[in-house]
Chains A and B, each alone.
Chain A
Amino acid sequence: MRQYLIRRFFVLLASLWVASVVIFTLVEGVPGDPASFMLGVNAAPDTLAALRTQMGLDQPLIWRYLHWAGGMLTGDFGQSFTYKVPVASLIAERLSVSLPLAVIALALSVALALPMGLFAASRRGRFSDGTVMAGTQLGIAVPNFWFAMLLVLLLAVHWQIFPAGGFPGWSHPLGALRALTLPAISLALPQAAILTRVLRSALIETLDQDYIRSARAKGLSRSRALTRHALRNALIPVLTILGLQFSFLLAGAIIIENVFYLPGLGRLIFQAITQRDLIVVESVVMVLVFAVIVVNFLTDLAYAAVDPRLRRRA
């Protein structure tokens, strides 16, 4: 077990390193001078040179990479060219919107999928199962940003229960939660649909096993066999999907934040692209990729916690 963990940890470090190289080369290694782009075509040569020095563009590429990567290890992400503030504080500020949004959406999708998956599995083949499955097909097919627009139309414009966009800040906790409700629902719906389907088929697979029949034979009710025995064994595929979904949630959040004008990482990255604030672009992307890689690592650890067989085999 310990060996497995150590190996996984080294894979994690290697992945982070390769990811940082890929991101850096893609953003900075291409032709084109960010300094001249920012100043426009009429910039005086000496102003341009000054900005290039300030941005470190006169240094070799390798050196700039080491500077960037080394800085990130110590929590120093550099200085944003357009906002003139440290990138780290910029990201931290935006994360205070994006992270709660992703967590609420994830929790919501689990809260929806768990009862629906259990319900559908326990009624396998019946009409109610078919209805739930048809609903999940629809949920998967709906683009979350379109669903968000429909939610706004109904719950913000027509009934005015929730705000249509914007974010009041966490100093108004209730208002902040209200502002995150519609974005979280629109993010959670497709994920909940996928999760329901995975949970249902995993449950049905375990329900066919002999030990479930034994449990039923010794007098356990159908629903107890389902929740006490089948659910635990169905958790492995569910965890896999949850881990994968986290990256979809992050990507989805980038779009959803733009629908609701939420000041999160997603809006930051688009603003940075239009302003060609490269250091912000590469740092935000690195943070997103870091989150995905770490979550996948944690998912692997969670397998071992849920399934003793995996612990012993490794």
Chain B
Amino acid sequence: MKFSLWIGALLSGGAVLAALISLVWTPYDVTALDIAHKLQSPSAAHWLGTDHFGRDIASMLMAGARTSLAVALVAVVIGAGLGVPLGLAAAAMRGRWIDELIMRANDLIFAFPALVIAILITATFGPSATNAIIAIGIFNIPVFARVARAGALSLWQLDYIRAAQVSGKGRARISAEHIAPNIANLLIVQGTIQFSLGILAEAGLSYVGLGAQPPTPSWGRMLAEAQTMVTIAPHVAIMPGLAIVLTVLGLNLLGDGLRDALDPRLKGRSA
């Protein structure tokens, strides 16, 4: 489906663009309080209205995109950086104790949902965006390890890998030179999915106060602050939620579209 690829690229591209622009420009200063103009509905001056401190919601959403995307992206890099080598090693050592150890450790991490890891880390080190990254990143490791292992296992059966073995290449070298490039498609698709899950997780963590701390703008915390005012000014709660939904939707559609585009066997059979 070309359609989902384009819509997905458009939505996630929009979020990335907003985050990048916010580095140099936002309509208003996100830390500037303007109590006189608090809780205003969307208008020409404030496109998406203002919050309970009179801050411009559009500006905060742009700056919040930065936090969300950065946290989720670094968490994906951590997960892939550690998970992929582990998965490749497990596949190369299939059936041996290393494989068993890696896979059982994976199962164990799966028993700790990202939020629970975050709670544990926060209970000891205090809340911060860094701790949110670590918590989501740890949870990403077993996901990438599984995908890499499953993809690599099927490749190890193929003739050209046998040929490489016969020619004297070691398992590590084969994994790096032949296996890794051939599972890149799988990893990219999984990366987009984990990226979108990371954005949801970051929103959840900062909503309960375990993520980025003030004054760093964050979509999750905007929602937490809006909760008490949802009856008098619903737009304050609706806008950040829409930002999350559109970004996550965009990344998911992008992932689906990429999978279909990269794997012709799956065409028209989206899961």
Contacts and interface: CB of A to CB of B under 8 A. Distances in A.
Using C-beta atoms within 8 Å of the partner chain, give the interface range for chain B. Answer: 35 or more
A248 B107 CA distance: 15
Q: Which of B116, B125, B238, B246 has most chain A Cβ within 10 Å?
A: B116
A143 B268 CA distance: 27
Contacts of B269: 201, 204
Interface of A: 11, 14-15, 18-19, 22-23, 26-27, 30, 32, 125, 133, 137-138, 140-143, 145-146, 149-150, 152-153, 157, 197-198, 200-201, 204, 244, 247-248, 250-251, 254-255, 258-259, 269-270, 273, 276, 278, 281, 285, 288-289, 292-293, 296
A258 to B, nearest CB: 6
B68 to A, nearest CB: 11
B227 to A, nearest CB: 6
B248 A146 contact: no
A27 B123 contact: yes
B249 A138 contact: yes
B252 interface: yes
Given A26-B124, A285-B120, A18 B234 contact: no
Interface string B194-212: 0010001001100110000
A248 B113 CA distance: 7
Given A27-B123, A145-B207, A285 B230 contact: no
B112 interface: yes
Contacts of B31: none
A94 to B, nearest CB: 15
15 contacts: A26-B120, A26-B121, A27-B120, A141-B246, A143-B241, A149-B227, A153-B237, A157-B231, A247-B110, A250-B113, A251-B116, A254-B119, A255-B207, A296-B107, A296-B111
| Most chain A CB atoms below 10 A, which of B110, B121, B246, B252 | B110
Contacts of B94: none
Nearest to A254: B115
Contacts of A140: 248, 252
Ranked 8 nearest A-B pairs via Cβ = A251-B113, A146-B241, A141-B249, A141-B248, A251-B115, A201-B271, A292-B111, A30-B124
Nearest to A147: B241
B114 interface: yes
Q: Which of A15, A23, A198, A251 has the most CB of B within 10 A?
A: A251
Which of B108, B124, B208 gathers most chain A CB within 10 Å? B124
A15 B107 contact: yes
Given A11-B104, A255-B208, A296-B107, A153 B231 contact: yes
B10 to A, nearest CB: 15
Interface of B: 104, 107-108, 110-116, 119-125, 196, 200, 203-204, 207-208, 223, 226-227, 230-231, 234, 237-238, 240-241, 244-246, 248-249, 252-253, 268-271
A133 B123 contact: no
Interface centre among A11, A270, A273 (most CB of B within 10 A): A273
Given A11-B104, A153-B231, A143 B200 contact: yes
B17 to A, nearest CB: 19
Contacts of A201: 269-271
Contacts of A150: 238, 241
A153 B104 contact: no
Nearest to A11: B104
B249 A278 contact: no
